[in-house]
Amino acid sequence: MDLFNTIIAILESTIRVSVPLIFAALAGLFTERAGVFDIGLEGKMLGAAFAAGAVAAVTGSVMMGLMAAILISVLLSLVHGYASITQRGSQIVSGVAINFIVAGSTVILGEAWFRQGGRTPALAGDARFQTVTFPFADAVRDVPILGPIYSDLLSGHFILTYVAFLLVPFSWWILYRTRFGLRLRAVGENPGAVDTAGISVIWLRYRAVICCGILCGFAGAYLSLAMSAGFVKGMTAGKGYIALAALIFAKWRPLNIMLACLLFGFLDALAIRLQGNPLPLIGQVPVQLMQALPYILTVILLAGFIGKAIPPKAGGIPYVKER
Amino acid sequence: MSNPYAKLPAWAEYGLIPLVNLIVAFVVAGLVVLLVGENPLKAAYHMINGAFGRGEYIGFTLYYATTFIFTGLSVAVAFHAGLFNIGSEGQAYIGGIGVALACLWLDKTMPWFVVFPLAIIGSAAFGALWAFLPGWLQAKRGSHVVITTIMFNFIASSLMVYLLTKVLKPLGQMAPQTRTFEAGGQLPKLDWLMSIFGLNLGNSPFNVSFLLALLAAFGVWVLIWRTKLGYEMRTMGHSPSAARYAGIGEARITIIVMMISGGLAGMMALNPIMGEQYRMQLDFVQGAGFVGIAVALMGRSHPAGIIPAAVLFGMLYQGGAEIAFEMPAISRDMIVIIQGLVILFAGALENMFRPAIGRAFASIGRRSAIAAQTRGA
């Protein structure tokens, strides 16, 4: 029973840490499927987390915080879009630039406005997302096996957690079952064909980039309004890059993204749990190895040793209409 | 891909456009300073004074510049072959192992000029090794070097935390770092060079590795513009299909270029480890690998542009510390913003002002042509 409780605890924290990864990786899915590579997920998430923390602290409203997060993240996405779609600059360079601009300015502005060493004030009550308790969750907790699964694993998460998991099938439906999705995928594979059909490549890519901004906004808001009670400087701590790794590991497919994010989240949760505790059969595993494992796995996958990850064909190439 | 923009004179291409982009980046940074409620002109004064006001400040500026010359060259070499090495950060970090091993081995018995060459070889070898894998993976397995080098940065950082807490740390010490090196692991400072200009170096760690950086810059120029390998690299960077048609081995070039790039990044570790701290600490790279991206973009991947760009960023780092001292609202994170803005305007948006400048040149050209005609008639 003790082992069972440990497993439930690990799985519960797996869900908690994989939510921002799911949001961010789905965000990346939309732009990358449209042919705009984005290594600025980290920066957008961080900017959104800061905006959410700052606005929720000032207004005391969690919804205003979420709106601010989405607004800032979309604005940053549009900068990326302007540089890489309109100005046809390097998408990688633009993403790197956004990461730095946000990393610096969240600290500078946070310190100037709140004077708490780069933090925003701690949030409480309506300024923060509350957990949702399913009906009868408390009543059935004592039922063996199913009880803890229902009341600890499924119930008791933030509303954004459920939003993240619902977004997975929803993204699949948008990308694979709507006209917009078909065109979006086409523009990432062969923009010339889309242009010939009389559809604006530029506008389509901008819409994809805006979708990415909205989803990164959710990711950031989850970090500062749900997972923690406020913004802490550098709080994304590489999650944007792990999401990028998950996106590649999932071969740019929605359902795989959820599984990859859960896997990377599980490694993270396990690393925290195993700190100092030897693993049966294997013995002591260095925490650093666990932390590096998502990256190592992605490299191995990219090398084609576990299946093959083929990126969208027109990804990274600015579209030039005519010469 | 043909260039969609009109050709400009060389001085405009390599001087005017980067300058305009740089000015715009600084104007935007000035707006951030305004937003924080400080005076941007005062901040600029403190920065320039803090970077060049005294011999000691200049020493610090050039100490930082040394680091950025190495990482800037590292990124630039890869750029020439059409590769984007975001992994200079990790390669420099791993390069530190080579420096530390050479110093830990010989610092008690040998003078610095024996240890230094070994440390150079060690740092370059470890850096090159860390870049070899992404290079090999792109060349042979088709995984994109941008993604793999990002992943390798994280793997490097985990690996170094492990090594410094479990392997390289002396017994009975808490801090995750190697022991302090003896005289053999300490590079001499360049006070003689500074005293030629009548300056006093003070406490600044400006050291011999600066000369090595200049040498490396010259070496890169020779490599890119005066050797067969450099020619092949540039061909591949301009047009991979032309390179393939000319029988240039793409895989071979990719791997070699990544190793050179990683080696240059690794050599950066000499400056902080042997030149300032005399031990290897956690996170000694401090983002210098990423500054290298900004430096390479601003210097247009040419050593003659990279050196001034590195000095500019050295100025930002040293002067930025002074601003933080004088104006507490502006911490050193301001540099990170400026770095990002430079990457944005000199890199991703480099073509934003090009049409306007091109038009200006075209109209001047037309007017002078008309003037010449009327004079002729």
Pick from A292, A296, A303: CB nearest B143? A303
What residue ranges do the domains of chain A occupy? 2-302
**Using an 8 Å Cβ cutoff, are B148 and B138 in contact?**
yes
Which band of pLDDT confidence, cut at 50, 70 and 90, is reported for residue A79? very high
**What is the CB-side half-sphere exposure of residue B224 using CA atoms within 13 A?**
23
d(C-alpha B186, C-alpha A24), whole Å: 46
pLDDT digits (tens, 9 = 90+) for A103-121: 999 998 888 888 887 788 8
pLDDT of amino acid B377: 54
| Most confident by average pLDDT, A58-72, A272-286, B8-22 | A58-72
Q: Find the residue in A nearest to B343 (Cα).
A: A97
Q: Which of B86, B149, B154, B159 to mutate to test the interface with A (most CBs of A within 10 A)?
A: B154
Candidates B1, B2, B6, B21; CA nearest to B300 is B21
d(C-alpha B176, C-alpha A10), whole Å: 29
SS3 B351: coil
Q: Residue A127 has what DSSP assignment?
A: G
**CB atoms A244 and B293 under 8 Å:** no
Q: Which residues contact residue B266 at a Cβ distance below 8 angstroms, ignoring those fewer than 6 apart?
A: B91, B92, B94, B95, B96, B98, B123, B124, B125, B126, B127, B128, B130
Looking at CA atoms only, how far is residue A129 from chain B in angstroms? 29
Looking at CA atoms only, how far is residue B331 from chain A in angstroms? 7
pLDDT of amino acid A280: 64
Burial class of residue B116 in the structure, from the number of CB atoms within 10 Å of its CB (0-12 exposed, 13-18 middle, 19+ buried): buried
**Using an 8 Å Cβ cutoff, are B262 and B75 in contact?**
no
Position B146 in a domain: yes
**CB atoms A89 and B330 under 8 Å:** no
d(C-alpha A278, C-alpha A284), whole Å: 4
**CB atoms B349 and A89 under 8 Å:** yes
Which chain A residues are closer than 8 Å to B148 by Cβ?
299, 302
**CB atoms B340 and A289 under 8 Å:** no
Q: Find the residue in A nearest to B136 (Cα).
A: A303
A311 contact B CB<8A: yes
**Cα-Cα end-to-end distance for chain B:** 43
Structure tokens at A238: 């590489």
A298 contact B CB<8A: yes
Which band of pLDDT confidence, cut at 50, 70 and 90, is reported for residue A90? confident
pLDDT of amino acid A71: 96
**Is 90 exceeded by the pLDDT of residue A286?**
no
User: In whole numbers, what is the pLDDT of chain A averaged over residues?
Assistant: 86
**CB atoms A100 and B337 under 8 Å:** yes
Q: Which residues contact residue B259 at a Cβ distance below 8 angstroms, ignoring those fewer than 6 apart?
A: B128, B131, B132, B135
Which chain B residues are closer than 8 Å to A288 by Cβ?
158-159, 161-162
B195 contact A CB<8A: no
Kindly report the CATH number assigned to the domain that includes residue B238. 1.10.3470
The alpha-carbon radius of gyration of chain A (Å, integer) is 20
Residue B189: strand pairing partners? B207
pLDDT of amino acid A49: 95
**What is the CB-side half-sphere exposure of residue B184 using CA atoms within 13 A?**
18
Number of domains observed in the structure of chain B: 1
The alpha-carbon radius of gyration of chain B (Å, integer) is 22
Q: Find the residue in B nearest to A97 (Cα).
A: B340
What CA–CA distances, in Å, run from B229 to B226, B254, B288? 9, 11, 27
d(C-alpha A27, C-alpha A23), whole Å: 6
Q: Which of B34, B130, B155, B342 to mutate to test the interface with A (most CBs of A within 10 A)?
A: B155
What are residue A82's phi and psi, to 5 degrees? -60, -45
**CB atoms B155 and A295 under 8 Å:** yes
Candidates B147, B148, B124; CA nearest to B134 is B148
Percent of chain A past pLDDT 70, that is, above it, reads 94
A63 contact B CB<8A: no
Q: Which of B152, B333, B341 to mutate to test the interface with A (most CBs of A within 10 A)?
A: B333
d(C-alpha B313, C-alpha B294), whole Å: 9
Q: Which residues contact residue B348 at a Cβ distance below 8 angstroms, ignoring those fewer than 6 apart?
A: A83, A84, A87, A89, A90, A91, A93, A94, A97
pLDDT of amino acid B2: 41
Q: Can you give A215-273 as a three-state secondary structure string?
A: HHHHHHHHHHHHHCCCCCCCCCCCHHHHHHHHHHHCCCCHHHHHHHHHHHHHHHHHHHH
Per mean pLDDT, which range of A46-60, A87-101, A115-129, B50-64 is the poorest? A115-129
pLDDT of amino acid B226: 94
**Using an 8 Å Cβ cutoff, are A98 and A76 in contact?**
yes
**CB atoms A107 and B151 under 8 Å:** no
**Using an 8 Å Cβ cutoff, are A188 and A33 in contact?**
yes
SS3 A104: helix
Candidates A237, A218, A177, A208; CA nearest to A29 is A208
Which band of pLDDT confidence, cut at 50, 70 and 90, is reported for residue A278? low
**Using an 8 Å Cβ cutoff, are A43 and A291 in contact?**
no
pLDDT digits (tens, 9 = 90+) for A293-320: 888 888 887 777 766 667 788 877 888 8
- Sign for the CA dihedral angle at A297, B147, B176, B127 comes to positive
Position B365 in a domain: no
Position B364 in a domain: no
Candidates B150, B112, B303, B110; CA nearest to B220 is B303
Q: Which residues of chain B have pLDDT under 50?
A: 1-2
A83 contact B CB<8A: yes
Topology adopted by domain A2-302: ABC transporter involved in vitamin B12 uptake, BtuC (1.10.3470)
Range of the domain at B172: 13-359
B301 contact A CB<8A: no
Could you report the predicted ipTM of this complex, rounded to two decimals?
0.87
B286 contact A CB<8A: no
pLDDT of amino acid B363: 83
